[in-house]
Amino acid sequence: MKETNTKNAFEYLDDLEYVYDASVFKAFGKCWIDKNRFIEAITNSRAALTQELEKARKIEIREQKIYEEAEKKKEEMIRETEEMIANLDPVKEAELFAQQIVEKAQEEAERIRMEALETRDNTISHGEKVKNELINQGHQFLENVLKSSLITFDENQKHLFNSLESHREKLMIAYEEIAPMVKTDTEETTQAS
């Protein structure tokens, strides 16, 4: 068998089972009992029980110490609370409470002021951005209008020049066609007189 201190619960159960079986067999005289194993099983069972009892005692002692410590802490806290209540000055407490309220209100007012300044700065910044965008759009529009006007003027000038040139050419052709007729009529009139 293994040493007592290395056995687990199942092995102790096996030992106890052997003790039980041995007792039953002995009672009915059905089998020869191994006396040494029987004694070892009882010894192991007792050792295991003693070990478990020792563990339980240690746990109980530890729990008792924790409980006593908690009781001491509780009594100490009760005593401190009672002393605080006995030493309380209602006027000072009210002043302290009022001061805390004022400080919180000032902190909140400062926070709101900072948020308002941030909102104002953001609004001004956004307004400047929008204004600059509108100015840029206006400049771009004027530039586009002027460009289109200049292009239109140039196109109209070219168109007018082409039209005048076309009329001049037509007049030249007409003159060239009419000039011989006019000369012929003039010559005939001169010759007739």
* pLDDT recorded at residue 191: 64
Average pLDDT over residues 113-141: 82
Share above pLDDT 90 across residues of the chain, in percent, rounded to a whole number:
0
Q: What are the pLDDT digits (tens) for 44-87?
A: 777 877 888 888 888 889 888 888 888 888 888 888 877 776 67
* pLDDT recorded at residue 3: 46
Q: How many CA atoms lie within 13 A of 186 on its CB side?
A: 6
* pLDDT recorded at residue 74: 85
Domain ranges of the chain: 4-88
Averaged confidence pLDDT in the chain? 76
* pLDDT recorded at residue 47: 80
Q: How far is CA 84 from the centre of its chain?
A: 44
Please say whether the dihedral angle defined by the alpha carbons of residues 184, 190, 191 and 192, taken in this order, is positive or negative. Answer: positive
* pLDDT recorded at residue 181: 78
Contact 7, 44 (CB under 8 A): yes
Q: What are the pLDDT digits (tens) for 159-177?
A: 888 888 888 888 888 888 8
